Structure 1
Amino acid sequence: MKFPLSWLKYHLETDASLEEIAEAMTMAGLEIEEIDNPLEKFADFSVCHVIEAVQHPDADKLRVCRVATKDGEKQIVCGAPNARTGMYAVYAPLGAYIPGLDFALDKKPRKIRGVESHGMMCSARELELGEDHDGIIDLPEPFEVGTPAVVALGMADPVIDFEVTPNRPDWLGVRGIARDLAATGIGTLKTHDIENIPGSFTCPVTVELDWPEACPVFAGRVIRGVKNGESPDWLKKALKAIGLRPINFLADITNMISYDRCRPLHVYDLAKLDGPIRARRGKGEADRFEALDNKEYVPGEDQCVIADDTHCLGFGGIMGGTWSGVTSETTDVFIESAWFDPQITRATGKATGIDSDAKYRFERGVDPASAKAGIEQASELILKFCGGEASETIVVGETPAPPADIEFPLAEVKRLTGLNLPREEIVRILEALGFAPKGEGDVLTVGVPSWRMDCTQKADLVEEVARIHGFDKLDALSLPRPPVRREAPATVMQLRARYARRALAGRGYSETVTWSFCETKQAALFGGHGEGLALENPISSELDVMRPTALIHLLTALQANADRGQADPRLFEVGPVYLTDKPDGQRLVATGVRRVETGRHWAGTRLPDVFDAKADALAALAAAGAPADSLQVAAEAREWWHPGRSGVLRLGPKNVLAEFGEIHPGILKALDIDGRVLAFEIVLDNIPQPKKASGLKARGQLDRAELLPVHRDFAFLVGKDVPADTLIRAAKGADKALISDVTVFDVYDGKGVPDGQVSLALEVTLQPREKTLTDEEIDAVAAVIVSKVEKASGGTLRG
């Protein structure tokens, strides 16, 4: 919602500055998005006076001007055909940014065909204040040199843009904003009573309400002999300031009243109406019509239309049709001021895709008591500026009842907010907001105004009192300390997620938060979305199903970071993925991605590979409480992983805790991802539950050996299809108490190794606990290791 400051001051008598008004709006709950202040935006530009303009000695189309400016007398070379002696123009000093040309002037004078120029005189288009670019701005009257340009042009009116919450449709009218600001004490609400315009003849149009649930009340009147044309400058300027395009005076009046009083109206060309006006259900193809957005619509039975005997004239409360629209030739008009049900209006707007100003207001709840007032306000303006003769106003149907009175104990203000306000202040605030408090005791009976349909209970009134008095005036009180130390409880899954985040952040990953939705074709790349996970009401066409993996958005985010020059971006997310729509169909995952790129480092430029992804996954799993030493590695990653460069970490044959490796090139190509990408995805739900006695927070007992470890190396010849993990697990199982670690330190398949085999070299660490090992004891363990490995792998000890 936008409005110029001058429009607000039409309703609010105030001497407050723009900054003070903005602060009062914020404190009253009107969240300001932006303030467009031309005085700040065009602060560099000011009025100048051309003392003399002479022909450039070396250019027929240039003139050398001696100009009086706020910076003193300047020489400016100008190519505008209208530059002349004595004119008042707009001056831009050296270094000023010219918005219409999107560049800044040099800070030093520059020579133009041999003559120095100290600044510039601007056209309207160069300042984005109009479309005129044939010459520089020629101010129609003399102004004092140095006057801000926007003041001289009459364009110094700031425009405030703020966010309207869905429960406050009265803020969609400038008067509603002024009412709330007046209640804060920053000004006084002006009285602009809308007078009844007497009619000189009976309204010739009859109105019938065939669907009163959708349109319970309809006010209208005819005005004959109007002269429709271009709107006056004050109206066009006001509409342009809020982003509306002036059309003609009749249409502009309805737009102005919609923003002024949150009262949408519609004007029909009376000559094009045939029979009674009806508010009824749509009839499908029989009602097909072209709307004012130049699109055709077919109204359904659950959509309210306004129609006569032969035409559908438009959607009620949303948009009229082109057939009955007013033009410059229109002389007789029928004005509509009705009230339409918010739910039906919202459903119709969603079904048709129309998003008009009228629909935006009616779906939130226009003041139902404003139907007749809207007619009278429009009639006054039309008769004043377009002439004509008005009929009597007709009102058909019944106005919806205002909200019921609220029994309001004054003590509720202190009970709910802690504010100890006197009775007089509470009553003053409520009356200033349009409420009608009655009663003398400690309990008031408060009448709710028709424009505040959101107020239905005493807590709503407390909120209004606190909001206007100022939430910033609430006393700051500390919560009482508990008698003993207490920590906020955390579930096992919350702790897993917390520790996994810390581990991944410690390994150089940056956390992201992405959508839990994705596009159907993206989900298909990762096995497709589960049953029942297509969204009936997606927030966009690109987010129409629940995501089966967090990789989708992380990969696209990785590419976006790379496109912006981010070196070695590493991203992770801990969040949900969705397999089915059943209660157990959601999983919590920790997912990370990084590019296969070399970085500049003193240790060298080794490319990261699948083992780096595996290490990152293992680190997060260990931090989350998984038994990392017991995990099995298998090359069983699903089809979106690169075969031969990926794997899984699992407990037993079925419980997969993580997948890791390179993403398949075909997937990257489909997602338009450049290069190679490493990734992992950990399913935190699949980690076994910890014992109740310990939990994730408990630290294990310190296990420190006093004796030196013993290292022994073994090389085995095994088939190339045998996983190294098979040898490692077999070696560890030779003596679980004595063997503390087993690692692969060499892989060789060159000369001396039979075809189809590979030499895997293991380093086994023996950690004695009670005494130093003898050679015989070490040899005995070594023999068991060889036996176990040969049996598990089918290989032999290499000689």
Structure 2
Amino acid sequence: MLVPLKWLRDYVDIDVDVKEFADKMTMTGSKVEKVENFGEDIEKVVVGKILEIKKHPNADKLIVTKVDIGSEVLQIVTGAKNVKEGDLIPLALVGAKLPGGIKIKKGKLRGELSQGMMCSSEELGIPFNMVEESKRDGIYTLDEEYELGKDIKEVLGINDSLVEFEITSNRPDCLSIIGIAREAAVTLNKKLRYPQINVKECDEKIKFDVNIEDNSLCPRYAARIIKDVKIKPSPYWMQRRLIEAGVRPINNIVDITNYVMLELGQPLHAFDLDKIESDNIVVRKSKEGEKFTTLDGVERNLDENMLLITDGKKPIAIAGVMGGANSEVTSDTNEILLESANFNADSIRRTSKKLGLRTEASSRFEKGIDVNLVETALNRAAQLIEELGAGRVLKGFVDNYKNPVENKKIVVRPQRINKLLGENIPLNQFIEILESLEFECSLVDDKLEIVVPSFRLDIDMEADILEEIARIYGYDNIPSNMIYGNTTIGLKTIGQIFEENIKNSLVAMGLNEILTYSFVSPKGVDKINLPEHSIKRKFIKIINPLGEETSVMRTTLLPNMLDVVSRNYSRKVDEFAGFEIGNTFMPKDNLLPVEKKSIALGLYSDEMDFFTIKGIIEELFENIGFENYDVIPEKNHPTFHPGRCACIAYNDNIVGVFGEIHPDVLENYDINTRVYAAEIDFELLFTFARNNKTYKPLPKYPAITRDIALLVKDDVYVKEIEDVIKQNSKGLVESFKLFDVYKGEQIEEGYKSVAYSIVYRSIEKTLTDDEVNEVHDNIVRELKEKINANLRL
């Protein structure tokens, strides 16, 4: 919020320099970002009056003038053609300094002494759009009578300081000069002067009506009618203030609405009444697919949740955001309808975001505005229009305000606040601070009943009152004390520790962690060949995305992983192994999206195959305590090779999928090598993993190892063999390990040899050969019976 200090002084006396003012305001919660002083580069420029003009004796294009500056009369030589005797002009004296580093020296022009220089608006640094067209060329002339010799900076209002405040979203009341003045008055212990509003109305009465279809979206709408409007530039002082506050002057009517918005914080809008086709304003929701052209000439596509201002026949404005080109005030405007309204903050915020259109008005409405400002701002604008001769104000105004808002009431405990602050602030000082902030206070027993002013939308509870007391009392006045009591340390959650263990395990196996954006292109699922009916095509769309490549929230990590793999492959990286742990997002009716954390793996190398990624996953699962899962061949996953893909299952839950990426998918990513990838559900893994590892003592009794070589058909999976071994171990099989798979000579075609090393051990006693043989022989029999496995001799 840019605040010209001179404007602020209209409402509060500031008797400190700008640096001290900025420091004090910052300490009471109104943080000052920057201070800019105007007129520092202008010195010794005063008001002068031209008494006499003569032709230059030695130059046809120059004139010699006598200029009175009050204390003396100076001779000035100039080539200006627009000056005449009696004109008041800015005169730069000898030794003067002007913007751009220009310094004025005494000298002669074609033999005639010149004791200074008359100045143009450009030489004084006056913005081009603040200068009347007739004064843009040549010497700048002053319209009013000013004291001769007076500093031109005071005359033109350029001896000012501009203070930039950082306004947080919880203090929309400070998005105005009055809001800052209110804070300054409390900070400096001064009295606040509100603008005196007195509207001079003509005898003609207003005849107009306002209908609001949904008062929750528009709690209040008021309007006045102005006739005999004269569109012209606004006065210099108003233009100057607007420009300093960051608003471009347009014409007197628009400038007045902007001036009042900056002054009071209530946006206003002026409609050309002749372009409104009825005597009735209707505030309604837009219709799906409805189109509307705004003041900037852009046709906007609306949806059914946007609020419109209409004349009953056509839209004339997008409520709280921007007016329409079809009701714009122009130089031909004769009558205007002046709007002052209060709109639902959430509705304006959503509309502004969807349209990608953020204005001074919408930025205020979306934070919330005091509903009582509607009438005040409307009357203030009408007052200025009448005072500046811009039109006649009709008698009365229309005001649709069906559900008046009551001020919030809060009960606070001063003793409790003192305890929390660690200070003993007297009760009368409590009340004095709160009343200076315009809170109404009444003491009931040992508690304060407080009525919150309507402009303080951020005050809801006792803690908010505590903050108000603390910042005005002064944080620097509250003593610093050592904390007492038991100290605590911050601990990681079980989930954070679990994720850290996964990362550490994968890094230890040689994988690098990658991070990718959560917002992606919808075309990513096309590249991994997901079918049209896939649930992972149901995206959450981003409003106003940076581009199509970042227009939706991701539903799977695989496209991002393959993008990274492709980037490394295209840059001639010989081998790659990476992982990512990140969220995916799925829509859920009208509720917040479902966020699920997933783990993605991606790797390629000439020496890697399906069993490389399988081994990485198995070792990871062992490290985190995930056991008793099944690896099931998967032939129908569209992203993976049909013969080299498997699902990880636990009970009836699919925990993840891994395998070799389908050649068609690799072609989409311009990859000409085999790539292996996996996507695993982090949350299911966390749910089923055995995180509480317990101490297990070393075995007391010796083990017996037996090797077994089996001849089985090619289509028999190792898992089938291992399931039989587990089911028939009788508690004596400590572990078993596959150490050989052989196909070739001496092995019948269509068969393979699978060899296991099985370790037998009892936790209760030393096993005998007979006891081991009994279990071992039973396993062999079961393998023969269930999967037709024969011992290879």
Asked if 2 retains the 8 angstrom alpha-carbon contact of 1:240 and 1:246, the reply is no
| Matches of 1:155 and 1:665, distance apart in 2 | 73
| Matches of 2:19 and 2:578, distance apart in 1 | 45
Match of residue 76 from structure 1: none
Asked if 1:433 corresponds to 2:434, the answer is no
Asked if 2 retains the 8 angstrom alpha-carbon contact of 1:633 and 1:650, the reply is yes
| Matches of 1:252 and 1:407, distance apart in 2 | 43
Counterpart residue type for residue 573 of structure 1: I
User: Per-residue deviation at 1:300?
Assistant: 9.8
Correspondences of 1:375-414 after superposition (within 5 Å):
375-378=378-381, 387-391=389-393, 394-397=396-399, 400-414=404-418
Correspondences of 1:352-391 after superposition (within 5 Å):
355-378=358-381, 387-391=389-393
Match of residue 618 from structure 2: 618
Give the 3-state SS of the residue equivalent to 1:323 in structure 2: helix
Match of residue 692 from structure 2: 697
Correspondences of 1:560-709 after superposition (within 5 Å):
568=576, 570-573=578-581, 590-597=598-605, 607-627=607-627, 630-636=628-634, 639=637, 640-651=639-650, 654-666=652-664, 676-682=675-681, 684-685=683-684, 696-697=691-692, 699-704=694-699
Asked if 1 retains the 8 angstrom alpha-carbon contact of 2:520 and 2:554, the reply is yes
Correspondences of 1:170-209 after superposition (within 5 Å):
170-180=173-183, 183=186, 185=187, 187=188, 191=192, 193-199=194-200, 201-202=202-203, 205-209=206-210
User: Per-residue deviation at 1:757?
Assistant: 3.4
Counterpart residue type for residue 28 of structure 1: G
Asked if 2 retains the 8 angstrom alpha-carbon contact of 1:218 and 1:397, the reply is yes
Match of residue 271 from structure 2: 268
Q: Deviations over 1:577-619 (max 9, x none)?
A: 7698899x9896652323325xxxxxxxx64443343344334
| Matches of 2:100 and 2:295, distance apart in 1 | 40
Asked if 2 retains the 8 angstrom alpha-carbon contact of 1:3 and 1:159, the reply is yes
Unpaired runs of 5+ residues, structure 2, are: 42-95, 102-121, 129-138, 141-157
Counterpart residue type for residue 570 of structure 1: G
Which range is displaced more, 273-282 or 263-272? 273-282
User: Per-residue deviation at 1:264?
Assistant: 0.6
Correspondences of 1:92-131 after superposition (within 5 Å):
none
User: Per-residue deviation at 1:699?
Assistant: 1.0
Asked if 1 retains the 8 angstrom alpha-carbon contact of 2:632 and 2:646, the reply is yes
Counterpart residue type for residue 398 of structure 2: V
What is the RMSD of the two structures over their aligned residues, measured on CA atoms? Answer: 5.9
Evaluate the alpha carbon distance shift between residue 505 and residue 188 of structure 1 in structure 2; reply closer, same or farther with a 3 A threshold. Answer: farther
TM norm structure 1: 0.64
| Matches of 2:281 and 2:587, distance apart in 1 | 51
| Matches of 2:508 and 2:4, distance apart in 1 | 51
Q: Deviations over 1:421-450 (max 9, x none)?
A: 322432243233332334597444434323
User: Per-residue deviation at 1:559?
Assistant: 7.0
Asked if 2 retains the 8 angstrom alpha-carbon contact of 1:402 and 1:453, the reply is no
Give the 3-state SS of the residue equivalent to 1:335 in structure 2: strand
Give the 3-state SS of the residue equivalent to 1:368 in structure 2: coil
Q: Deviations over 1:633-674 (max 9, x none)?
A: 33237613333333234456x454443334445556668999
Counterpart residue type for residue 399 of structure 2: G
Asked if 1:726 corresponds to 2:729, the answer is no
Counterpart residue type for residue 210 of structure 1: N
| Matches of 1:673 and 1:429, distance apart in 2 | 70
| Matches of 1:706 and 1:19, distance apart in 2 | 84
Correspondences of 1:55-134 after superposition (within 5 Å):
none
Which range is displaced more, 451-460 or 498-507? 498-507
Q: Deviations over 1:562-584 (max 9, x none)?
A: 9999995733327687698899x
| Matches of 2:312 and 2:734, distance apart in 1 | 92
Evaluate the alpha carbon distance shift between residue 174 and residue 612 of structure 1 in structure 2; reply closer, same or farther with a 3 A threshold. Answer: farther
User: Per-residue deviation at 1:403?
Assistant: 0.8
User: Per-residue deviation at 1:266?
Assistant: 1.4
User: Per-residue deviation at 1:456?
Assistant: 5.2
User: Per-residue deviation at 1:678?
Assistant: 2.0
User: Per-residue deviation at 1:681?
Assistant: 0.6
Counterpart residue type for residue 263 of structure 1: Q
User: Per-residue deviation at 1:315?
Assistant: 4.2
Which of 222, 226, 229 is the equivalent residue of 2:226?
Answer: 222
Give the 3-state SS of the residue equivalent to 2:339 in structure 1: strand
Match of residue 426 from structure 2: 422
Asked if 1 retains the 8 angstrom alpha-carbon contact of 2:598 and 2:682, the reply is yes
User: Per-residue deviation at 1:178?
Assistant: 4.8
Evaluate the alpha carbon distance shift between residue 610 and residue 315 of structure 1 in structure 2; reply closer, same or farther with a 3 A threshold. Answer: same
| Matches of 1:157 and 1:565, distance apart in 2 | 59
Q: Deviations over 1:377-411 (max 9, x none)?
A: 44566567x65454366333376445155454433
Asked if 2 retains the 8 angstrom alpha-carbon contact of 1:269 and 1:324, the reply is yes
Give the 3-state SS of the residue equivalent to 1:394 in structure 2: coil
| Matches of 1:318 and 1:178, distance apart in 2 | 26
Asked if 1 retains the 8 angstrom alpha-carbon contact of 2:209 and 2:281, the reply is yes
Match of residue 751 from structure 2: 757
What is the total number of aligned residue pairs between the two structures? 668
TM norm structure 2: 0.64
Counterpart residue type for residue 391 of structure 1: V
Asked if 1:211 corresponds to 2:206, the answer is no
User: Per-residue deviation at 1:194?
Assistant: 1.8
Evaluate the alpha carbon distance shift between residue 289 and residue 18 of structure 1 in structure 2; reply closer, same or farther with a 3 A threshold. Answer: same
Give the 3-state SS of the residue equivalent to 1:461 in structure 2: helix
Counterpart residue type for residue 226 of structure 2: V
Evaluate the alpha carbon distance shift between residue 395 and residue 747 of structure 1 in structure 2; reply closer, same or farther with a 3 A threshold. Answer: same
Evaluate the alpha carbon distance shift between residue 290 and residue 719 of structure 1 in structure 2; reply closer, same or farther with a 3 A threshold. Answer: same
Q: Deviations over 1:704-753 (max 9, x none)?
A: 4675x676665544333222333445556675666544333444444554
User: Per-residue deviation at 1:352?
Assistant: 7.2
Counterpart residue type for residue 193 of structure 1: Y
Q: Deviations over 1:497-524 (max 9, x none)?
A: 6755664565555486975999698499
| Matches of 1:551 and 1:474, distance apart in 2 | 56
Match of residue 148 from structure 1: none
User: Per-residue deviation at 1:20?
Assistant: 8.9
Correspondences of 1:715-794 after superposition (within 5 Å):
715-730=709-724, 739-765=733-759, 793-794=787-788
| Matches of 2:206 and 2:614, distance apart in 1 | 79
Correspondences of 1:253-652 after superposition (within 5 Å):
253-269=256-272, 272=275, 276=279, 278-281=281-284, 290-295=293-298, 306=309, 312-330=315-333, 333-340=336-343, 342=345, 355-378=358-381, 387-391=389-393, 394-397=396-399, 400-414=404-418, 420-438=424-442, 442-455=446-459, 458-466=462-470, 468-469=472-473, 480-481=485-486, 500=502, 503-504=505-506, 507=509, 508=511, 510=513, 522=525, 549=556, 551=558, 568=576, 570-573=578-581, 590-597=598-605, 607-627=607-627, 630-636=628-634, 639=637, 640-651=639-650
Counterpart residue type for residue 622 of structure 1: E
| Matches of 1:240 and 1:564, distance apart in 2 | 52
| Matches of 1:582 and 1:743, distance apart in 2 | 51
| Matches of 1:276 and 1:197, distance apart in 2 | 26
Counterpart residue type for residue 169 of structure 1: P
**Which entry has the higher C-alpha Rg, 1 or 2?**
2
User: Per-residue deviation at 1:326?
Assistant: 1.9
| Matches of 1:581 and 1:336, distance apart in 2 | 37
Match of residue 169 from structure 1: 172
Give the 3-state SS of the residue equivalent to 2:297 in structure 1: coil
Counterpart residue type for residue 195 of structure 1: Q
Correspondences of 1:130-149 after superposition (within 5 Å):
none
Which range is displaced more, 710-719 or 232-241? 232-241
